[in-house]
Amino acid sequence: MTKLKVNKKLTLTALIAGIASLSACSDMKAIPSENMGESTAPAVKFVVVDTAQDSCFDNAGGEISCPAQGSALSGQDAQYAGVQPSYTDNGDKTVTDNNTGMIWQKTPDYKHYSYDDAIAYCEDLSVANHNDWRLPTIKELYSLADFRGEIVNPRNESENTPYIDTDYFDFEYDKRMAYIGQYWSITKYTLGPVHNTENVEAAFGFNFADGHIKGYETGYVFGTTDESVHAPGNFVRCVRGEENVYGVNDFADNNDGTVTDKATGLMWQQSDDGVRRNWQDSLAYAEVSTLAGHNDWRLPNIKELQSIVKYGGEVASWPAINTQYFTLTGDNTTADPLWVWSSTTQGDFKYSANYISFGKAFSKKNSAATTYYDWHGAGAQRSDPKSGAPADYDMSSENATDLVMTKNYILLVRTVKI
């Protein structure tokens, strides 16, 4: 900063007047001060960080040695190492993701906020002398997901592992139940109401306790300003960084049945093949596939698959994917939902694997109900049993019963660059 040279003979009155005159100059830019909390948003890159899942599992959920290529159950998440998570604790209550460039609030306040209050909380937050915090999008929030997590005992949090790296991020389970760890994103679900019987508006969040994306009640009746819906609220972890970078795809049609996302360096199968398969058969299909002259295709891990979801106001109808580039063949009904497998085992129920619902994410209000609704929203991440028949499983919870499928669709992926 340039120092002002002051004539010692100036009177005190003249000095004050001079300073006031300088302050009033309309063409003089304010000089940022550390104490003023002014910030420049960190540069951000759309890097799909690995899930961190490092074990392989059989259909029943037992941990196994990762199978050799060509063997049954080969091709699981743990067998393909993507961009590894890398964080820096800045020592000022913030954590930098060294891959994406985003800076995160290290320690939430563990209070439940409504959707609107969550946005306001981040806007009002001042941590590490920065005041440009904001509520993350669902893709930004999901970038932190760590699929080494699991809930072993919902009544004893000491036996559980959250879906976030606690070497860097502070985390507490909700005192009511260990599987309650939902965090808000700013991304609303715009295709329709969730919990259709109540006409509920929702925004997506990720549950760092049990590892799922779903839509949560914002408090509004869908499509209105009527804020009369009961909404229990979620936790908040704020972020800093350039907006409209992370999660923004840059697709190119290769005109050979494949699509390259130039933003992430991943090449995708353009359309599923119209066949629903169980998880083991899906892994096997991916491992031997040849498409567009390439034979290094695989089943995507769940974070890779989520990277191509088209969320919020970007999509006007199902499926929640860019239909200029991709085709999904399911009919978006309970008999044929638009659900696509990943290679990632779900930690809480290791006999299940994760999928993305590109269409309605069906559930019913409880096990006694007979009608399924779009309970979680297109773009939700859930899990299905790896084998057997749906009737073999009860995937119900205290509040809802998910539709169970044991066969889902496939979109293959390969890495163009890392």
The three-class DSSP label of residue 400 is: coil
What pLDDT shows up at residue 398?
A: 58
Cα-Cα end-to-end distance for the chain: 42
Question: Measured between alpha carbons, how far is residue 383 from residues 167, 181, 234, 319 in Å?
Answer: 26, 17, 22, 18
Q: Is residue 418 assigned to a domain?
A: no
249 or 6: which carries more pLDDT confidence? 249
Question: What is the model's pTM?
Answer: 0.90
Q: What's the total number of domains in the chain?
A: 1
Strand 381-385 vs strand 103-105: parallel, antiparallel, or unpaired?
A: unpaired
**What is the tens place of the pLDDT at every residue in 292-346?**
999 999 999 999 999 999 998 777 889 999 999 999 999 999 999 999 999 999 9
The CATH number covering residue 207 comes to 3.10.100
Q: What is the DSSP letter of 298?
A: B
Residue 298 phi, psi (nearest 5): -155, 165
- Domain assignment present for residue 95? The answer is yes
Q: What is the mean pLDDT of residues 276-297?
A: 98
- Residue 36, classed as helix, strand or coil, is helix
Residue reference for tokens 């999660």: 247
Query: Is 55 domain-assigned?
Result: no
User: Does residue 12 have a pLDDT over 70?
Assistant: no
Q: Which residue has the higher pLDDT, 25 or 201?
A: 201
Q: Between residues 316 and 10, which one has the greater pLDDT?
A: 316
170 assigned to some structural domain:
yes
Total residues found in the chain within this entry: 418
Indicate the range of 1-10, 90-99, 115-124, 198-207 predicted with least confidence. 1-10
10 Å Cβ neighbour count for 312? 19
Alpha-carbon distance 47 to 42, whole Å? 15
> What pLDDT does residue 396 have?
64
Residues of the chain with pLDDT > 70, as a percent, come to 89
Q: Please state, as a whole number, how many other Cβ atoms lie within 10 Å of the Cβ of residue 116.
A: 13
Residue 364 resides in a domain:
no
Residue 17: its H or E element = helix 12-24
Task: Give the Cα separation of 416 and 139 in Å (integer).
Answer: 21
The answer to the question of residue 316 being in a domain is no
Burial class (CB in 10 A: 0-12, 13-18, 19+), 31: exposed
Q: Has residue 48 been placed in a domain?
A: no
Query: What integer best gives the mean pLDDT of the chain?
Result: 89
Q: For residue 226, give its domain range.
A: 87-240
Does residue 19 surpass a pLDDT of 50? no
**339-380, pLDDT tens digit by residue?**
999 999 999 999 999 999 999 999 998 888 889 999 999 999
CA distance 293 to 258: 11
* Model confidence at 213: pLDDT above 60: yes
Residue 346 contacts residue 289 (beta carbons within 8 Å): no
Instruction: In whole angstroms, give the CA distance from residue 261 to residue 371.
Output: 38
| Tokens matching residue 247 | 């999660």
pLDDT digits (tens, 9 = 90+) for 52-93: 999 999 999 999 999 999 999 999 999 999 999 999 999 999
Which phi and psi (to 5°) does residue 198 adopt? -115, 0
Within 8 A by CB and 6+ apart from 76, the residues are 56, 57, 66, 67, 283, 343, 345
Mean pLDDT score, 119-141: 98
Q: What is the pLDDT of residues 407-418, one digit of tens each?
A: 999 999 999 975
Residues in Cβ contact with 199 at an 8 Å cutoff, skipping those fewer than 6 apart: 193, 221, 222
364: left (phi over 0), alpha (psi -120 to 50) or beta: beta
Answer whether residue 210 is part of any domain.
Answer: yes
d(CA 61, CA 304): 22
Which alpha helices (H) appear in 128-199, and where do they start and end? 138-142
Mean of pLDDT values over 172-190:
90
Task: Specify the residue for token string 């002398």.
Answer: 129
pLDDT at 238 over 70: yes
pLDDT value of residue 31: 34
How distant, in Å, are the alpha carbons of 30, 39, 49, 105 from that of 33? 9, 9, 34, 21
The mean pLDDT of 262-278, rounded to a whole number, is 98
